[in-house]
Structure 1
Amino acid sequence: MDGRTITSEPTGDQLAYLLATDRRILVFLGDQPSEPDVDIVYEIVVECRLDGRLLSKTLTVEAGNESVSFSPSDGDPGAVVEFVERMASHWQTLSMYLSNARDAVEKIESAATVSSYDVTCARKQISEARSVVDDVEDESTGAMTPYIETVEDEFEAARTDSMGQTIRDGLDRAEEALSVATEALEADEYRTACESYVETVDTLEQVSETLDGLDDRETLADRFAVCEDRARTLGDEFLAEAAAECDRAQAATNPETATEAWQSAFDRYRGAVAAGWNGQRGVTEAALEFQLVWVTAALIEQLDALAAAEEDRGDDTADDDAAEAHYDKAVDVLERMCDLAELHPSYSADAFAGRLERVRDKQLEATGWQWGSTGSEQ
């Protein structure tokens, strides 16, 4: 029927009827027709007009490439024209909003994660569609509501599915990162452990925000709670172990035990700071940095005493091999102190440079005696 003009005219005693409903324009031919001869929805109506003279009028509906003409002999054709024009305007506006909403829904369905922009856009367009109904005070828009509800249901289904998938993907990442953190802690790889822990917590925060907007959330909420509890436990235990190492260092009577404990505490706090720990389990980056400065100073002091003790042992022994071993240890400790001094605001590697050079000279001297002894035997 594209591009054609349809004229509805009865033949013989046949009657013709044009009916403008709240959804479409229908033309029936015959007294008891079972199906309309013409069925035009309002979305495609371009124009409805009344042509002709007072006693010979033609009602014409332009709809896309179709044109339907009807010559009324009864009723109020002027009222029909007004009604059709009004309904066409309402339905076309409604169709535009629902089409925009469906576009947003399709983006939600195809996206890897929920886009708050697309969700907001879909909601806004559905709200605008409802305003079309609200703006009409009569009952002629009753047929519009089911169309709106259908799109709204599609939106809620897409949003729920997308949010659910986003949450599942987030929990997958969080659980994987938490496993890495756990394994790294067992291997004393504290920076890796803390980086994975921070990633876990950050991911869980994102999941929590999405989870709050999901109505059917029981199963996913249980999985989230388990992961969150595991992460909380890991974070608390890490901090507790770092603090315990400080306590162990302070209580130690053996210098090597104290050094080992301070080193363990240093490695933990430095790993946390390097990983960007900030606010997890209520501990800020500033607090960790403050603790790291204190632990670094304590470790340097402990190493200082250890280096001095090894140098004294080297000085006091008459055995060149033993002296060399003690000086080797002292050099290693002093080099470690120089590295740590670069990390502390109150220390400088230059402060230990002279001492390190002195012990190295003693180290070479002890080695030289061994070479000399070997040569004399030959």
Structure 2
Amino acid sequence: MGTIIDLTDGQDHEILERTEADGLFGGEYLDGRPLGEYLREGEQPKYVLRNKKSGVTVDDGRSLEPDSNFQAFALVTDLRVIFVVGQAGGDDSLSVRLPDIVGVSTESGLRSNTLVIETLADERWSFPSTGDPEPVAAYLEDATQVWANAARLLDDVEETLSRAEEAMASDEHEAAREHVDGARQTIDTAVHRISEVGPAAHQRIAGRAEELGSWLTDVERELAGGDGARAHAQAQTHWQRDEYEAAAESYDRAIESYREALDIDGSTPSTESLEERLRGAAAERELLRVGPLVDADTSRRRAVALADPEDAASEWERALDRYHDLLSLDWGDEGGQFVADREVIREQTTEIADDAVSDHYEAGRQWLRSGDKLAVQDRDKQATQVYERAAEQFEHAHTLASEIAPDRTETIETAITAAEDRLAGVRPERSVPDDPIGFEPEEEDDETETETDDSGDEMDDLSFHDSGSTATQVYEPSQTTATGSFGRENPGTESVLDRIQAQKQARAETGREGPTSAESESGDGTVVDTDPAAGSPDRLRERVKAVGTADLRDIVARLWERKGWKTSVVGAGGEVVYDVVAVDTETEERHLLWIIDADGGPVDRTVIRQCATTVEDGQGSDEAVVVTTGSVTPSAESEAENAPVSIVGLSELVDRLAESSVAGAVPSLEDGESPQT
């Protein structure tokens, strides 16, 4: 047997299994275990070198030499170099890990050749043998380079992850993402390269790689969750600024990032936290689908409610701007970002512009009349200020009319001329004309309607409703508004929301040949419940309890609509955990409705907490309403008392249906059919 043995030839070698050799010239190798027992699980032997006297030496003064009857061995594996020196009474052993080796060389002598190993600790290990150690040195050099390369790659990943966490802590998320880009590939490269050395080496590197991979996964999950949180906050900011499309895009990014984070199998942020954020973003995104329309209609309703035509005209213009913005949004049926009918919005926009023209015109007419009252009191400076206000209102009316109602410009131009004449000095002197726009100086009566006033000429904060310090009521609201003679009658009485709701109800009735067996049509066309058993609460209760979630969702939506709310059935699927959005367009209150049928199990505390969290974390929603035909636990009722959540149980739902015409929409039970339990 040679002094250098190649163990990679696929043969069985007794040197690994025995401590002594057979034959005439046999002898003892070691006093204790055979070399093979020094191998760890999965460790793969490559070479064995041996000598009988020299043993192994280290330049720090350590030296191990075999006793006279034994030998010294250097076992090279894919993990390390193991030096085992035979000693009577017990062998000695030392080892050097391959990752710690920085250099390998051979030295030739007269009677032996020496394998020399240098380590990171500046140690020099020497093992002489009579054979040629060059193949061993070549293997060690290649293996240690692979080890060093794999370890360096993983060190780089570890440093990268530390920097990424520091960047995230400083809210530098883009920098953090740049740090981790490619880290996964670097880990895979290290594992692939070390596999060339051997299975044990692969196992060692793979263990560290797995730890770094888990760390990287947590960082990636936290980055994705952070992306979602930032996009979510941006969406809310855009919505507050009425930047609806930007808000929709940000919500979509937030939802996508939250989903991406959940798909990453990490531990930070927690799955519960991410799911909660995702539900909140998805809920707000659904509200946003109707949000622009509700917000725009809010301005319209404010304009309708204002008595002062100048204030109303300003509010009409704000509403007009919002409706113009609505026309540029992605309105569609199922696939659009927002919910509405573009044609109905366009019609409403035209009517709002028409109302703005009318109120600007009326405001100008009232200012003109107020100026006349000042003129006949010889308060010329104040009258001039008021006439300027009148001219300004007429100009606003003319600008809008030129765009949307050219046929009205001639009338407005007449009013502008009247204001310009007043400013040029053509003013009433003795009495206030009944028609300030059609005033002609020669038509003045000889009688005067006013009392003189000695107050100063300065007028601050002019208003139709202010009397100033004069004894005479100079500013008084007109009893006849322009909308009665110049504009539309009953401006703004029907909103786009009203029209869309009417269309939705009409579509809901489409396909029905007539009222159901439990309904009939009254003289005014209202569908009412005429089921012979409808008067029986027990019978209606059975019918309601038998309704499935899909039908119950539509019934509840119709019930809220009968109360004057506008509803949008969302459905319970994906991350949108509620079923219906209800909006009170008079108070701007918005409810999220959860519909849980009897098969959905009892409503417990967890359900109430989820509803409350969705509302509290949401944008634009005021209250959650849980409508259930099943049972409600006492803990849920207690939880709801301290949360923005209302519970409508089976009994209350039946009572509400019985008091409305919606009861007829509840399907009748067939003979022998039992309600859900």
TM-score by length of 2: 0.41
Aligned to 2:80: 24
Q: Among 218, 222, 226, which residue is 2:280 paired with?
A: 226
Correspondence for 2:125: 68
Question: Is the CA contact (8 Å cut-off) linking 2:319 and 2:352 kept in structure 1?
Answer: no
1:152 aligns with 2:213: yes
Q: Which residue of 1 aligns with 2:155?
A: 99
Work out whether residues 331 and 359 of structure 1, in 8 Å CA contact, stay in contact via their aligned partners in 2.
no
Cα pair 1:174 1:203 within 8 Å, conserved: yes
Whole-angstrom distance in 2 between the partners of 1:255 and 1:79: 98
C-alpha deviation, 1:329, in angstroms: 6.8
From the superposition, tell whether residues 335 and 152 of structure 1 become closer, same or farther in structure 2 (CA, over 3 Å). Answer: same
Identical residues among aligned pairs (%) = 15
> Which residue of 1 is the match for residue 460 of structure 2?
none
Aligned partner of 2:259: which letter?
Answer: D
Cα separation, 2, equivalents of 1:308 and 1:202: 43
Computed over aligned residues only, the root mean square deviation of the Cα atoms, in angstroms, reads: 5.3
For residue 317 of structure 2, what is the aligned residue in structure 1?
266
Unmatched 5+ stretches in structure 2:
1-57, 266-270, 405-412, 432-447, 455-677
Aligned CA distance change for structure 1 residues 108 and 95 (closer, same or farther; 3 Å)? same
Task: Give the letter aligned to residue 233 of structure 1.
Answer: L
Deviation at 1:314, TM superposition (A): 6.0
Q: Which residue of structure 1 lines up, in the alignment, with residue 421 of structure 2?
A: 358
Question: Equivalent residue for 2:94?
Answer: 37
Q: Is the 8 A contact 1:97 1:129 kept in 2?
A: yes
Supply the distance in 2 between the matched residues of 1:304 and 1:150 (Cα, whole angstroms). 72
What are the Cα deviations for residues 161-182 of structure 1, in whole angstroms up to 9, with x where unaligned?
44445545665x369749xx6x
Map Cα deviations across residues 334-364 of structure 1 (whole Å, 9 max, x no partner).
Answer: 42464688899959xxx89766443445798
Structure 1 residue 372, shift from structure 2 partner: 9.7
Q: 2:181 aligns with which of 102, 109, 120?
A: 120
Q: Separation in 2 of the partners of 1:269 and 1:21? A: 82
1: CA distance between counterparts of 2:308 and 2:136? 98
Q: Decide which moves more: 204-213 or 144-153.
A: 204-213
How much does 1:49 deviate? 1.9
CA distance in 2, matches of 1:97, 1:66: 25
Instruction: Determine if the alignment matches structure 1 residue 59 to structure 2 residue 115.
Output: yes
Q: Secondary structure at the match of 1:37?
A: strand
Deviation at residue 84 of structure 1 after TM alignment: 0.9
Distance 1:363 1:33 in 2: 127
Amino acid at match of 1:207: A
1:229 shift after superposition: 1.7
**Would you say 1:79 and 2:150 are equivalent positions?**
no
- The question of whether the paired residues in 1 share the 8 Å contact of 2:258 and 2:277 is answered with no
The offset of 1:68, in angstroms, is 1.2
SS of match in other structure, 2:129: coil
Task: Say whether 1:282 aligns with 2:330.
Answer: no
CA apart distance, 1:119: 2.6
Q: Does 1:212 align with 2:259?
A: yes
Q: Partners of 1:60 and 1:103 in 2: how far apart?
A: 33
The Cα offsets for residues 146-204 of structure 1, whole Å up to 9 and x where unpaired, read as 22222212211333344445545665x369749xx6xxxxxxxxxx5425x77765553
Match of residue 239 from structure 1? 293
Partners of 1:91 and 1:227 in 2: CA distance: 47
Matched, 1:130 2:191: yes
Structure with greater helix percent: 1
Which structure's CA Rg is the greater one?
A: 2
Secondary structure of the residue aligned to 2:73 is strand
Structure 1 position 328, deviation (Å): 7.2
The 8 Å contact of residues 177 and 223 in structure 2, kept in 1 or not, is answered as no
Structure 1 position 9, deviation (Å): 4.4
CA deviations on 1:276-328 (whole Å, 9 max, x unpaired) are x9669736xxx9xx99996785355324532564377569989947x999997
- Aligned equivalents of 1:244 and 1:372: distance in 2? 43
2:102 aligns with 46
Tell me the CA shift for residue 57 of structure 1.
0.5
TM-fit CA distance, 1:239 = 1.5
Change (3 A) 1:20 1:355: farther
- Worse overlay, 260-269 or 213-222: 260-269
- CA change 1:49–1:255 in 2 (3 A) is closer
Shift of 1:222: 3.0
Q: Secondary structure at 2:242's aligned position in 1?
A: helix
How far apart, in 2, do the equivalents of 1:234 and 1:270 lie?
Answer: 18
Preserved contact between residue 51 and residue 59 of structure 1 (Cα < 8 Å): yes
Q: Is the 8 A contact 2:361 2:393 kept in 1?
A: no
Pick from 229, 242, 248: which aligns with 1:194?
242
State how far apart, in whole Å, the 2-side matches of 1:328 and 1:365 are.
16
CA shift for structure 1 position 367:
11
Q: Is the 8 A contact 1:18 1:26 kept in 2?
A: yes
Change (3 A) 1:319 1:29: same
What residue identity is the alignment partner of 2:317?
F
Match of 1:188 in 2: none
By how many angstroms is 1:224 displaced? 2.5
Give, in whole Å, the separation in 2 of the partners of 1:255 and 1:162: 50
| Residues 255 and 306, structure 1, Cα contact 8 Å, conserved in 2 | no
- Corresponding letter in the other structure for 1:94: A
Aligned residues: 347
Compared CA separation, residues 139 and 345, structure 1 to 2 (3 A)? farther
1 CA distance for matches of 2:213 and 2:145?
22
Query: Taking structure 1 as reference, are residues 203 and 60 closer, same or farther at Cα in structure 2, changes over 3 Å only?
Result: same
Report deviation, 1:127.
Answer: 2.6
Match of 2:11 in 1: none
- For the residue of structure 2 that corresponds to 1:194, the secondary structure is coil
Quick check: 1:45–1:62 contact (8 Å CA) kept in 2? Answer: yes
Task: Give the Cα separation in 2 of the matches to 1:367 and 1:177.
Answer: 58
Whole-angstrom distance in 2 between the partners of 1:128 and 1:367: 100
Contact 2:115 2:126 (8 Å CA) reproduced? yes
Matched-pair contact (CA < 8 Å) for 2:354–2:401 = no
Deviation of residue 87 (structure 1)?
1.0
Q: Provide Cα deviations, 1:199-253, integer angstroms capped at 9, x if missing partner.
A: 765553443343232235454233332243235425623324525866998xx8x
- Measured after TM superposition, the shift of residue 105 of structure 1 is 1.1
> 1:199 and 1:304, CA in 2 relative to 1: closer, same or farther beyond 3 A?
closer
Structure 1 SS opposite 2:191: helix
String of CA shifts for 1:45-71, please: whole Å, max 9, x gaps.
Answer: 232122214841100012232221111
- Listed as ranges, the gaps of 5+ residues in structure 1 are 182-191
Partner-residue secondary structure (3-state), 2:276: helix
Instruction: Kindly indicate whether the alpha-carbon contact (under 8 Å) linking 2:374 and 2:383 is maintained by their aligned counterparts in 1.
Output: no
TM normalised by structure 1 equals 0.66
